[in-house]
Amino acid sequence: MESEAVEKRLEVAEAVAREAGQLALGYFRRRADLAVGRKGLQDVVSEADGAVERLIRERLAERFPGDGFLGEETGASEGVGDGPVWVVDPIDGTQCFLAGIPSWCVSIGLAAGGRCRLGVIYDPCFDEIFVGGDGRSTTCNGVLVSPIDAASLEDGMIEVGFSHRVKGDWTAEVVRRVLSSGGMYHRGGTGALALAYVAAGRYIAYYEEHMNAWDSVAGIGLIEAAGGWAHDVLADDGLRRGAVVAACGARFAPTLRALVDLG
């Protein structure tokens, strides 16, 4: 996929993320009235997630009818393969969203040819938008950003994500290793936004044992466009099955890989 095609999609994705974010913010302000369901242990969903995803899916299909789509709420379009696929989480951090915690975002990524090509992550509560992709370095509200040039875990915080899709033992071991190496961990409840924070030099790194593609593709697009490193989340059918997510600045990559036994 040419950078021109990525650039065209970035412009549209930014406008769509802003529109979707405003819709989501409206729901956030009246969250007590929303119909809420449960997808699993500590895994909730509300009518807002579906409505915001439908808006994003419609807008992208109007502009790029030939592109595939994979969303957390509405699933995959026919023939999702090597061509461009939009990978979308309309509200990442749903548990925080429903609890009234301003730690959630709209996440729009694009995968093509086995790579994360672009990311747009919008945090409507703080009106921050992270945008980047092939041929365009990552920005936050229009200002260029880059990962921390960390040499060790002592240089800042690492976000360690967790969901009950996996057992907790390995994550607890990773947290133990972080602390015993003089590091500090954090869990903000929105993995997508945490990846944007890695791209923007707020966290040293992100690690999670299993994340779905809609939570990771946009953030990894941002990190790579900012010159950082990310474990390949699209290998081994990662688009459908999800993957280990590990990402950080380029210098810190060997330390992160060793910390989480990534070989």
Minimum CB separation of residue 106 from ligand IPD in Å reads 11
Residues of span 107-146 touching ligand IPD by CB under 6 A: none
Q: Are 162 and 172 in contact (CB under 8 A)?
A: no
Minimum CB separation of residue 11 from ligand IPD in Å reads 25
Minimum CB separation of residue 254 from ligand IPD in Å reads 24
Residues of span 9-48 touching ligand IPD by CB under 6 A: 43
Single out the residue of 73, 123, 134, 215 in contact with ligand IPD (rule: CB under 6 A).
215
C-beta closer to ligand IPD: residue 134 or 208: 208
Minimum CB separation of residue 50 from ligand IPD in Å reads 12
Single out the residue of 130, 162, 197, 229 in contact with ligand IPD (rule: CB under 6 A).
162
C-beta closer to ligand IPD: residue 2 or 167: 167
C-beta closer to ligand IPD: residue 82 or 126: 126
Minimum CB separation of residue 151 from ligand IPD in Å reads 27
Interface stretch with ligand IPD, choices 30-38, 177-185, 190-198, 224-232 (CB under 6 A): 190-198
Single out the residue of 92, 123, 134, 224 in contact with ligand IPD (rule: CB under 6 A).
92
Q: Are 72 and 53 in contact (CB under 8 A)?
A: yes
Cα–Cα separations (whole angstroms), residue 120 to 4, 36, 128, 166:
16, 26, 11, 27
C-beta closer to ligand IPD: residue 6 or 17: 17
Q: Are 53 and 90 in contact (CB under 8 A)?
A: yes
Single out the residue of 53, 134, 208, 224 in contact with ligand IPD (rule: CB under 6 A).
208
Q: Where are the beta strands (DSSP E) in 13-162?
A: 36-40, 43-46, 68-71, 75-76, 85-92, 105-112, 115-123, 128-133, 136-140, 143-144, 157-160
Minimum CB separation of residue 39 from ligand IPD in Å reads 8
Task: List, in sequence order, every residue forming a beta bridge with 67; answer none if it has no partner.
Answer: none
In the numeric block, the tokens 């057992």 are attached to 167
- The torsion angles phi and psi of 32, rounded to 5 degrees, stand at -65, -20
CA distance 237 to 254: 25
Indicate whether 191 belongs to the interface with ligand IPD (CB under 6 A).
yes
Is the Cα dihedral 96, 97, 103, 108 positive or negative?
positive
Q: Are 70 and 214 in contact (CB under 8 A)?
A: yes
The number of residues that bind ligand IPD (CB under 6 A) is: 17
Minimum CB separation of residue 46 from ligand IPD in Å reads 11
Cα–Cα separations (whole angstroms), residue 109 to 6, 158, 164, 177, 227:
11, 22, 24, 31, 17
Interaction site with ligand IPD (CB under 6 A): 43, 72, 89, 92-95, 161-163, 189-192, 208, 211, 215
